[in-house]
Amino acid sequence: MAHLELLKQWYDRVWVQQDLDAIGRFFAPDFEAQGVMDFGVGPEDFHALGAAVLAQVEISEVRFDREVELGDWVWATFTVLAVTLADQKPVQTTGQIMARMSDGKIVEAYNQIDFLTFFEQLGYLPPDSLALCLSGEGIAA
């Protein structure tokens, strides 16, 4: 299987189909993703992270916008399309991943996900939070 196809299957199976039990089939046992949280996230951590995200939204699609596959490495930008579970409002955010594959598993990954926009759309942060912070105004508690 091509490395890019493995990555696409990861997003579809775990996030769109919400099959958190599939996480271990995609990652090497000692896998640790960087950039998702302020610390490395391993296979067990992804169960908790996945449950927390999927308790907020239903993801209908993870669309790959740009992708590059070179040797064992895959890089992609993506758009996540979802709706909130509370009121079915649309949610859209973007991200990118660079991952290394070996023996049909993801063994190394570096992520960037626009959680600021995600949490604004969920209503946990005010609209235009980034602009507020850049203006020096900040986000009122």
- Tell me, yes or no, whether 141 lies in a domain: no
Question: How much is the average pLDDT of 68-86?
Answer: 96
Please report whether residue 52 resides in a domain. Answer: yes
Range of the domain at 117: 3-134
The number of domains in the chain is 1
- What mean pLDDT, rounded, does the chain reach? 90
SS3 assignment, position 104: coil
Is residue 42 assigned to a domain? yes
The H or E element containing residue 78 is: strand 73-84
The average pLDDT across 44-65 equals 92
For residue 43, pLDDT beyond 80 = no
The predicted-structure confidence for 102-120, as pLDDT tens digits, reads as follows 999 999 989 899 999 999 9
C-beta of residue 126 within 8 angstroms of C-beta of residue 120: yes
pLDDT confidence of residue 37 = 62
Residue 92 reports pLDDT greater than 80 = yes
Read off the pLDDT band of 82 (50, 70, 90): very high
- C-beta neighbour count of 8 within 10 angstroms: 17
Q: What is the CATH number of the domain that holds 58?
A: 3.10.450.50
Range of lowest pLDDT (36-40, 75-79, 95-99): 36-40
pTM value is 0.88
